[in-house]
């Protein structure tokens, strides 16, 4: 019994292991077959890659032996957003309500020749102001251009500005050509919707009939210094008051200006400037009355030279949590006109020498006491100065035959408060005591709205 048990145990174990051993051998054969297939596939891929590398090396060798001259890439305009092919468009809507104690139809500056432009407080009651539409864009890497059209309340369309300006001249130079607001002084370049008051200072209205526009060319040079230092020169057809467009080829008048500015600490920025303008006028007519009260037309022919000094200071405390700010601004102008004055050109037709030296200035301050609220105060004054009229000095006429040129010192005090719900809208109330005329003081209440639509450029300092 012991012998059989010793034989039966190993036989039973061998019988149990036989199927497992057979299965293992089968699996090994399958794995060997799969591995052989993978080796063959990778061999084919390696062969194909080697052939591609050889082909590229051959092509590169041929290209190096026979170089082909490639054209220079065309200049491209600066990258912009998805509307790169369209100019930026902005629209300014403005209007006001006027309550005036004096008839605006009789407005004039005592002691000064009328400019013939739109000056004074405007009409009474509700008025649609001048609307602006501006198109601006980069033309190419060398120029930008802008067009500003002014739409009058009467439905007339005028070109306020239309110019191109260089962007890539070396050494800090830039050139502007076309129609643009002259760069003299401070306020002249600023569009009406960005003024701190409803209207311009008296000196701008009396000396230029508003803003002085130039049809011509302007050159500026910005010095490569830490201190802001800018020099500029302009010339053009000189067709705006106090000049006239002359009946000849060439240019009329020259404007030179320089501006300097910088920072005083972290809270104060400043800018100051000095400008000089020289223009010629031929038969610059204006309406007046003689000593008997008869309507006549006189005219001036000669040169008009003006010096302008300006200064601006802005204060914004760096630690302010209420976004407070204060702006102090002032300009002084002195004009000398020398030539001849014709009296009653359609009647008596008398003419003799004329010389005047007149001046005007203003100072204004605007305090932003809240992110949306501002308060402002302005004082401006004119002085008709010394005027020599040859026809009066020679005894041909009386001084009363030139009533608009009698000595006078117009002045005005203006206050305003405005509220800006956002950077695109502003509501303003303004009250002024205006002594521009020889008659009584004109008390002026003006309520104004300004709305900006679309993209709009950054305003100057």
- Token match 């359609």: residue? 346
Domain 101-121+163-442 has CATH 1.10.1740: no
CB 90 within 8 A of CB 451: no
Q: Is residue 21 scored above 60 in pLDDT? A: no
Of 241, 250, 244, 333, the closest CA to residue 283 belongs to 244
Q: Is residue 42 scored above 80 in pLDDT? A: no
pLDDT reported for residue 25: 57
Of residues 38 and 76, the one with the higher pLDDT is 38
CA torsion, ordered 213, 218, 221, 222, to nearest 10 deg: 30
Q: 66-75, 205-214, 289-298, 350-359: which range is least confident on average?
A: 66-75
pLDDT reported for residue 15: 42
CA distances from 399 to 30, 170, 248, 283, 396 (A): 127, 56, 34, 21, 10
Helix and strand tally (H, E) in the chain?
3, 17
Which of 46-60, 68-82, 143-157, 366-380 has the highest mean predicted lDDT (pLDDT)?
366-380
Token pair of 139 as six digits: 């033309």
Token pair of 273 as six digits: 């400037």
Whether the full predicted model's pTM is greater than 0.95, yes or no, is: no
Query: How many CB atoms neighbour CB 276 within 10 A?
Result: 14
CA distance 361 to 357: 14
Q: Where are the domains of the chain?
A: 101-121+163-442
- Token match 């051993």: residue? 21
- Antiparallel, parallel or unpaired: β 350-370 and 325-343: antiparallel
Quick one: DSSP state of residue 110? T
Per-residue pLDDT tens over the stretch 106-133 = 888 999 999 877 678 888 999 998 899 9
Q: Is residue 145 scored above 80 in pLDDT? A: yes
């Amino acid at each position: 019994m012991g012998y059989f048990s010793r034989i039966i145990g190993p036989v039973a174990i061998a019988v149990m292991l036989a199927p497992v051993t057979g299965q293992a051998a089968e699996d090994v054969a399958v794995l060997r077959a799969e591995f052989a297939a993978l080796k063959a596939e990778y061999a084919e891929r390696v062969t194909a890659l080697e052939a591609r590398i050889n082909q590229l090396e051959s092509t590169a060798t041929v290209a190096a032996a026979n170089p082909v001259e490639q054209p220079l890439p065309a200049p491209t305009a600066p990258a912009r957003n998805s509307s790169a092919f369209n100019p930026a468009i902005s629209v300014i809507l403005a209007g006001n309500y006027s309550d005036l104690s004096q008839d605006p139809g009789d407005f004039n500056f005592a002691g000064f020749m009328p400019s013939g432009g739109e000056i004074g407080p405007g009409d009474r009651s509700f008025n649609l102001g001048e609307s602006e539409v501006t198109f601006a864009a980069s033309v190419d890497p060398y120029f930008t251009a802008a067009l500003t059209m002014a739409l009058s309340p009467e439905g007339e369309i005028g070109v306020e500005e239309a110019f191109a300006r260089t962007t890539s001249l070396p050494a800090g130079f830039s050139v502007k050509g076309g129609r643009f607001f002259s760069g003299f002084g401070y306020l002249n370049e600023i569009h009406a919707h960005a003024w701190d008051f409803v209207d311009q200072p008296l000196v701008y209205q009396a000396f230029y009939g508003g803003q002085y526009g130039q049809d011509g060319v302007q050159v500026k040079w910005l010095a490569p210094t830490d201190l802001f230092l800018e020099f500029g020169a302009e010339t053009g057809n000189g067709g705006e008051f106090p000049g006239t467009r002359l009946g000849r080829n060439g240019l009329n008048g020259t404007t030179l200006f320089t501006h300097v500015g910088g920072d005083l600490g972290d809270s104060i920025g400043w800018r100051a400037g000095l400008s000089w303008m020289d223009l010629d006028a031929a038969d610059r007519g204006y309406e007046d009355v003689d000593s008997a009260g008869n309507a006549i037309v006189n005219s001036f022919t000669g040169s008009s030279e003006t010096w302008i000094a300006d200064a601006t200071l802005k204060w914004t405390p760096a630690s302010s949590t209420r976004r407070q700010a204060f702006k102090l601004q002032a300009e002084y102008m002195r004009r000398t006109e020398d030539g001849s004055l014709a009296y009653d050109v359609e009647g008596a037709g008398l003419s003799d020498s004329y010389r005047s030296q007149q001046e005007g200035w203003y100072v204004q301050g605007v305090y932003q006491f809240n992110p949306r609220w501002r308060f402002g105060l302005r004082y401006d004054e004119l002085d008709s100065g010394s005027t020599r009229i040859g026809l009066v000095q020679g005894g041909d006429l009386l001084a009363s035959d030139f009533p608009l040129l009698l000595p006078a010192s117009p002045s005005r005090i203006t206050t305003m408060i405005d509220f800006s719900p956002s950077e695109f809208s502003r509501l303003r109330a303004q009250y002024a005591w205006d002594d521009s005329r020889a008659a009584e003081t004109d008390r002026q209440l003006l309520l104004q709205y300004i709305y900006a639509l679309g993209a709009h450029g950054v305003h100057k300092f």
